[in-house]
Structure 1
Amino acid sequence: MHVLFVHRSGSGQFAHLIARLVSGGAEVTLVTEHAAPEQAGVRQLTYAVGPATTTHVALAATDYHMRTGEAVAGLLGQLARTDPPDVVIGHIGWGGMLFARDALPDVPLLGYCEYYYNSAGSDLDFDPAVTISDAERQRIRMRNAAQLLTLEALDAAYAPTRWQQYQYPAHLRPRIAVCHDGIDAHACRPDPNAVLQLPDGRVLRHGDPVVTFAARDLDPYRGYPEFMRAVARVAARHPDAMFVTVGGDGPGYGRAREDGRRWREVMLAETGLTDRVVHIPWLAPDQLVRLFQVSAAHVYLTVPFVLSWSLLEAMACGSLIIGSDTQPVREVITDGVNGLLAPFHDTAALAQRIEEALHRGSMLGELRRAARATILSGYERERCIDRQLGWIAGLSRQREAVPA
């Protein structure tokens, strides 16, 4: 079987599915804009996106999606003549699958639906202090154009969480299954003997009063300002507590500050916590697992947006999660059952929850065990990949049943 993947950034969410296919003897081709490290059994074809052809701000994303679709379709057309795939799987958010049906009219298409942008009731208007202009709402609406056209041409589609599925228009949701990319519950597991050495030489162990926070970038989408303001309250009352943040200084999912300052710089100046917060720009996966294993309280905040793998990995490690009471988090965390929740914007309530974890940590073991059980029952990687492989096999049989 020849399975072709389309993703802008290497293998992306498909990395472990690709590995399973290769181990099973499948032929795998990856079409990408930014090549991934070479992997045995995977042929990579890279494309380049031409320069923008429009100056209208609301059409910038659509223009990029169009040019991406053209570039990918060119490669798919070549493969149609030399080595046609049996199934194509692609991320539909960046335009790569836009013209796949035209290039490969008889090949089943499976789309990965990560996020549909809404102008109300979602990330755009979550902050009550921010006024959303008509132009911004129009830009967001147009950003979905390529996804809608792609969905019309797909044979099947799936989203990683129910909340992400629910962001798509109601008439399309029945066509979008739900299956997460999967969490390695063997690598991510509790370890009461875990030890993590910090860059300054200090050693953290399970049972220490360590409060942790991790995100790709320390930005408002992941609640970094709210976390720091809550930590300022906790630090004043808990001189022995340690606070560790992991993440980059980029704009993340939001926009860069107009003054050019980094959010970490701004929040350290605001809270005066320079000497109390240990910051690590990046941790290797095994080191991040150790951080989750030694954490007394792991804080995960997000506006209504894509759910981070890091939250699920922390849950698999048996971390005591303190999450934001927002829709994506509520899908996996039930307050008082497998974690604790606090309103996203209420830093006093968040601080209270962190203190509760520090005071009652030994009595909240059931929440930790329930968090891991949640991952094992619904997000364990091998089960998720088994389901995805079932879809691929079904689509492949569907193609074989079509008369030549």
Structure 2
Amino acid sequence: MHILFVHRSGSGQFAALIASLVAQGDEVTLISERPAPGQPGLRQLAYTVAAASTQHPALVATDYHLRTGEAVAGLMTSLATSDPPDVVIGHTGWGGLLFARDALPDAALLGYCEYYYRSSGSDLDFGATAPIPQPERQRIRMRNAAQLLALDTLDAAYAPTQWQRRQYPAAYRRRIAVCHDGIDTVVCRPEPRAGFCLPDGRVLTPGMPVVTFAARDLDPYRGYPQFMRAAALLAERHPESILVAVGGDGAGYGRPREDGISWREAMLAETGLTGRIVHIPWLPYESLIRLFQVSAAHVYLTVPFVLSWSLLEAMACGCLVVGSDTPPVREVIRDGVNGFLAPFDDPALLAQRIGEALQRAPLTAPLRRAARETVRAGYERERCIDRQLGWIRRLAG
């Protein structure tokens, strides 16, 4: 069986699924704009997106999606004559599947539905203090254009969480199953003997008052400013706490600050935490897991948006997570059962909940166990991959 994957950035969310298919002896091809590092058994085809031609701000994303679709369809057409795939699996959001049905009419199409943009009740207007301008609403609505066209051609689709599925229009929602990418609960596990070495040489171990925060980039979408304001209060109330934040200085999911400085620089200046908090721009995956294993309280905040793997990885490591009381997080964390919840934009209450986690550390073992069991029951990688493999076999048949 020949399985073709389409993703903008390497194997992305399909990495574990691709590895399983390769291990089973299937032929696997990946079409990507930014190919993944060498993966044995995986054939990779790269495409280049032509320069945009539109000047209309609401069509910038659509123009990119259209040109992506054209480039991917060209590679698909070549495969159709030389080595046609049985099943095509692709991310629906970036245009890669836009013309898949035309290029590969005999292949079964399975779409990965990560996020459907909405002009209200979602990330765009979350916490907004003023009405969202009409041009911005129009821009965000147009961002779904290619995705809707692709959805109309799919044989099946799935989303990683129930909340992400619910963002899609009802007409398509009933065709979208729910299955997470999967968390490796063997790697992500509690480890009483874990140790994490800070850049200054200090070694952190389980039982120490370590408060952690992690995101790809330290941006407002993942609540970094709110975390820093809460951390400043926590540092006053709990001077023994050790604060560690992992994340880069990129714009992340939001937009760069107008003053040109990073959110890290801005929040250090606002809170006065310079020298009190340890910032680490990036960690290898194994080191991040060790950090979770020594954490006494892990803070995970997000606006209504895509749920991060890091939340589930931290829970699988037995972290006591203090999460934002926002819809994506509420799907996973129940306050006082397998973690704590706090309002996204209330640093005082967030600091209070983190402080409770530190003060009650000896009594939080049941919550930590429940957090891990939540991941094992609903997000364990082997089960998720088995389910996805079942879909592929049925579509191929």
Q: TM-score range by the shorter chain?
A: over 0.9
Q: Does residue 114 of structure 2 align to residue 114 of structure 1?
A: yes
What does 1:19-38 align with in structure 2 at a 5 Å threshold?
Answer: 19-38=19-38
Match of 1:279 in 2: 279
What does 1:181-220 align with in structure 2 at a 5 Å threshold?
Answer: 181-220=181-220
Q: Does residue 169 of structure 2 align to residue 152 of structure 1?
A: no
Match of 2:251 in 1: 251
Paired with 1:253 and 1:337, the residues of 2 have a C-alpha distance of: 30
Paired with 1:130 and 1:25, the residues of 2 have a C-alpha distance of: 55
Could you tell me how far 1:275 is from its partner in structure 2?
A: 1.2
Match of 1:98 in 2: 98
Paired with 2:75 and 2:348, the residues of 1 have a C-alpha distance of: 54
Q: Does residue 4 of structure 2 align to residue 4 of structure 1?
A: yes
Paired with 1:163 and 1:373, the residues of 2 have a C-alpha distance of: 20
Match of 2:162 in 1: 162
Paired with 1:39 and 1:205, the residues of 2 have a C-alpha distance of: 34
Match of 2:232 in 1: 232
Paired with 1:50 and 1:225, the residues of 2 have a C-alpha distance of: 37
Paired with 1:334 and 1:128, the residues of 2 have a C-alpha distance of: 26
State the AA in 2 paired with 1:120.
S
Paired with 2:38 and 2:293, the residues of 1 have a C-alpha distance of: 31
Q: Deviations over 1:120-163 (max 9, x none)?
A: 00000002335410000000000000010000000000000000
Could you tell me how far 1:263 is from its partner in structure 2?
A: 0.2
Compute the RMSD of aligned alpha carbons. 0.6
State the AA in 1 paired with 2:388.
Q
Alignment CA distance shift 1:130-1:316 (3 Å): farther
Match of 1:400 in 2: none
Q: Does residue 56 of structure 2 align to residue 56 of structure 1?
A: yes
Match of 1:381 in 2: 381
Paired with 2:189 and 2:40, the residues of 1 have a C-alpha distance of: 28
Paired with 2:320 and 2:338, the residues of 1 have a C-alpha distance of: 8
Give the secondary structure class of the aligned counterpart of 1:153. coil
Q: Deviations over 1:40-68 (max 9, x none)?
A: 11111101100112110000000000000
Could you tell me how far 1:106 is from its partner in structure 2?
A: 1.2
- Number of paired residues? 397
The normalised TM-score by structure 1 is 0.98
Alignment CA distance shift 1:137-1:308 (3 Å): same
Give the secondary structure class of the aligned counterpart of 1:376. helix
Could you tell me how far 1:201 is from its partner in structure 2?
A: 0.3
In the TM superposition, structure 1's runs of 4+ consecutive aligned residues that sit over 6 Å from their partners are none
The normalised TM-score by structure 2 is 0.99
Could you tell me how far 1:364 is from its partner in structure 2?
A: 1.1
What does 1:259-270 align with in structure 2 at a 5 Å threshold?
Answer: 259-270=259-270
State the AA in 2 paired with 1:333.
I
State the AA in 1 paired with 2:14.
F
The 10-residue stretch of structure 1 (274-283 or 125-134) with the greater mean CA deviation from structure 2: 125-134
Match of 1:81 in 2: 81
> Percent identity at matched positions?
73
Could you tell me which runs of 5 or more consecutive residues in structure 1 were left unpaired when the two chains were aligned: 398-404
Give the secondary structure class of the aligned counterpart of 1:372. helix
Paired with 1:101 and 1:207, the residues of 2 have a C-alpha distance of: 55
Could you tell me how far 1:276 is from its partner in structure 2?
A: 0.8
Match of 2:143 in 1: 143
State the AA in 1 paired with 2:223.
G
Give the secondary structure class of the aligned counterpart of 1:299. strand
State the AA in 2 paired with 1:181.
D
Give the secondary structure class of the aligned counterpart of 1:90. strand
Give the secondary structure class of the aligned counterpart of 1:172. helix
Could you tell me which runs of 5 or more consecutive residues in structure 2 were left unpaired when the two chains were aligned: none
Give the secondary structure class of the aligned counterpart of 1:235. helix
Q: Deviations over 1:211-234 (max 9, x none)?
A: 000000000000000000001111
Match of 2:356 in 1: 356
The 10-residue stretch of structure 1 (126-135 or 231-240) with the greater mean CA deviation from structure 2: 126-135
Q: Deviations over 1:327-385 (max 9, x none)?
A: 00000000010000000011111010011011001101111000000000000001000
